Amino acid sequence: MALIRSSSPHLHNAGSTPKIMRLLLIAALPGIAAMTFFFGWGTLIQIGWAMLLAIGFEAAIMKLRRRPVGFYLRDSSALVTALLLGLALPPFSPWWLTLVGIFVAIVIAKHLYGGLGNNPFNPAMVAYALLLVSFPVDMTRWTAPFVLQGDDGWHVLGLIDTFKVIFGALDHSAIDAFTSATPLDELRHRGGLTTEEAFRESNVLANGVGAWHAVAAAYFMGGVFLLYRKVFTWHTPVSMLGTLAAISTLFYLFAPDSFADPFFHLTMGATMLGAFFIATDPVTAATSNRGKLYYGAGIGLLVFVIRTWGSYPDAVAFAVLLMNLAAPFIDQYTQPRTYGHARPKRGLKEDA
Amino acid sequence: MADYRKITLDGLWHNNPGLVQLLGLCPLLAVTGTVVNAMGLGLASTLVLTGSNLTVSLFRHFVPDAVRLPIFVMIIAAFVTSIELLMQAFTYELYQILGIFIPLIVTNCVIMGRADAFACKNPVSASVLDGLMMGLGFTAVLLVLGAMREVLGLGTLFSDMQLLFGPAAESWKIVLFEDYSGFLFAILPPGAFVGMGLLIALKNIIDARLEERRRALKPKTEGGGIKRARVTGNVG
């Protein structure tokens, strides 16, 4: 991938898919740690279970496609898909939810389209959108951050018990006390309240948003690390976050009672995860630098539109999928000029 | 003389309207949420297809070429209207479930396609058989897709069959999974697209396997034929 345009001399660094994927896994560590700290062991178990399944499905489908299994497993792309889905699922989702999701991601969204490099849609996001549409109840039962559960809230459900809940050995009623709507969900379904009233009266919005702030900060750190290691360029994340911030500021200034503030939009839900880990997927995004600006801006705009007027609380998955669809079109119109060639004339030629 | 065996095989497999011609996709994808819906629409389409093929074939010598399509549409519309009235009379609930897709059979490309491609050029008996076999092939695809989506989406099979076969069929319902929470994706249109894609893939796999087996058998039966080497330059 030639992502950085600069003049010679060039230092060559043999970047490879496995290396990039491993860097992604490392960069997600702060986010994983923050999620585990605030939402309990569920996240870790989901990621582990998802990775196990992803390796299994990837190996099976490679065998079916008569491709070298080991070679493709070593590129770790299945692990990254599993990681993203594991982070996106509610920490206490039942085991079969992850199973269905990984099957859809690896088998349908990735390999039926031709495998890594040929998939038009981000596999983890396809799986997430499918699960959200199919199992809305399970997918919106998010865990309340432990600050809301009293001082010893975090120790109430230990590793073993969380394991039991996810794999069905413990009844779901055991976790009803720990689950709640996410801030985005709460704000979306606030009824006739103004945003200010909602922030005062809803428990999650009043006391719980700090957890999401911290998680967003952790993802942001991971993203900056990836940027520093030049895994991707700044264009997609900056234009996505910039557009989201700009448009939400605009609406917030005009009607602060009915719209959330820009900081809320930037730190809640999957905004940061999406900006640095999902939208930057080199396979499904636009390729040129100018194209990435449009691509990111489209995601930012769609995230705001779907969050504010759509029927689902979070929007990153849908926004990314819609812009994945638009990426080939963006690429067509943002091809960089070849050095030494004039800009091509489009449309009707004047002298024809 | 028409080859009846070929017509049958074409309709059911080689030229299946659902899997190969990809005609009539709109009802195919829209109403296959359950087996009973699929069967209702499949039977209605088959009846219309057989009837329209019969009529078109009967009148094929009197229809001016320039206005043949409007005439076919009139014939098809007449059959669809009769089917619609019959369904209102005997299976009213199913008629309400299928809704707009019953009148829309008029625009089903399978029916128009067979009228124009086959029935207006072939004798009556062959045309009727073609209509019947195309209809059955279409119904079969509808049924398989309906069964797939019903099992995945609702966890049942043959539920609500009494809508089509009377009260006796109420006990046909098979509950495959108790306490199934439902897989909404399979019921929604995207699930129909994915299911349809998988069915087409399955048919292509089976065809490829058959072809492979046929090739593997061939040299044995024919023995070592004469191998001709071309000695001149370009032929013809």
Closest Cα in chain B to A129 = B185
Whether residue A99 has pLDDT greater than 90: yes
Whether residue A302 has pLDDT greater than 70: yes
ipTM, two decimals: 0.73
| A314: amino acid identity, one letter | D
Asked whether residue B105 is domain-assigned, the answer is yes
The total of structural domains in chain B comes to: 1
Crossing angle between the packed helical segments A123-134 and A95-102, to the nearest 10 degrees:
130
Q: What is the pLDDT of residues A202-240, one digit of tens each?
A: 777 777 788 888 999 999 999 999 998 888 889 999 999
The contacts of residue A348 (CB under 8 Å, 6+ apart) are none
Q: For residues B196 and A6, give the distance between their C-alpha atoms in angstroms, rounded to a whole number.
A: 48
Q: What is the pLDDT of residues B135-155, one digit of tens each?
A: 999 999 999 999 888 888 888
Burial (CB count <10 Å: 0-12, 13-18, 19+), residue B70: exposed
Mutate to test the interface with A, among B179, B184, B199 (most CBs of A within 10 A): B184
Crossing angle between the packed helical segments A123-134 and A77-88, to the nearest 10 degrees:
30
Q: What is the dihedral of CA B178, B184, B190, B195, to 10 degrees?
A: 0
Mean pLDDT of chain A: 84
Q: So what's the pLDDT on residue A165?
A: 78
A98 pLDDT tier (thresholds 50, 70, 90): very high
Question: What is the pTM (predicted TM-score) of this model?
Answer: 0.82
Q: So what's the pLDDT on residue B79?
A: 93
Print the domain residue range for B189. 4-210
Asked whether residue B215 is domain-assigned, the answer is no
Provide, as residue numbers in chain A, all residues whose Cβ is less than 8 Å from the Cβ of B194: 108
Check residues A136 and B232 and name the one with the higher pLDDT.
A136
Q: So what's the pLDDT on residue A13?
A: 65
> CB-based contact (8 Å) between A134 and chain B?
yes
Q: So what's the pLDDT on residue A148?
A: 65
Beta-carbon separation of B181 and A135 below 8 A: yes
Query: Which of A148-152, A186-190, A334-338 has the least mean pLDDT?
Result: A148-152
**DSSP states along B171-235:** GG-EE-STT----HHHHSHHHHHHHHHHHHHHHHHHHHHHHHHHHHHHHHHH-S-PPPPP-SSS-
Phi and psi angles of residue A70, each rounded to the nearest 5 degrees, phi first: -60, -45
The contacts of residue A295 (CB under 8 Å, 6+ apart) are A236, A239, A279, A285, A286, A323, A326, A327, A330
Q: What is the pLDDT of residues A130-176, one digit of tens each?
A: 998 888 888 877 877 776 665 555 555 677 777 777 887 777 666 66
Q: Nearest Cβ partner of A108 from B184, B186, B194?
A: B194
- A&B contacts, CB < 8 Å: 17
Q: Nearest Cβ partner of B185 from A112, A134, A137?
A: A134
Beta-carbon separation of B185 and A133 below 8 A: yes
* Interface residues of chain B, partner chain A, Cβ below 8 Å: 181, 183-186, 188, 190, 194, 197
Give the SS3 label for residue A123. helix
Omega before residue A9 within 30° of 0, cis: yes
- Between the alpha carbon of residue A88 and those of residues A47, A147, A203, A274, the distances in Å are 10, 21, 22, 10
Asked whether residue B202 is domain-assigned, the answer is yes
Asked whether residue B230 is domain-assigned, the answer is no
Q: What is the pLDDT of residues B58-112, one digit of tens each?
A: 988 888 888 888 999 999 999 999 999 998 988 888 888 888 888 888 888 888 8
With a pLDDT cut of 90, the percent of chain B lying above it is 19
Check residues A263 and A10 and name the one with the higher pLDDT.
A263
**What average pLDDT does range A187-201 have in this prediction?**
77
Provide, as residue numbers in chain B, all residues whose Cβ is less than 8 Å from the Cβ of A312: none
CA distance B185 to chain A (A): 5
B227 pLDDT tier (thresholds 50, 70, 90): low
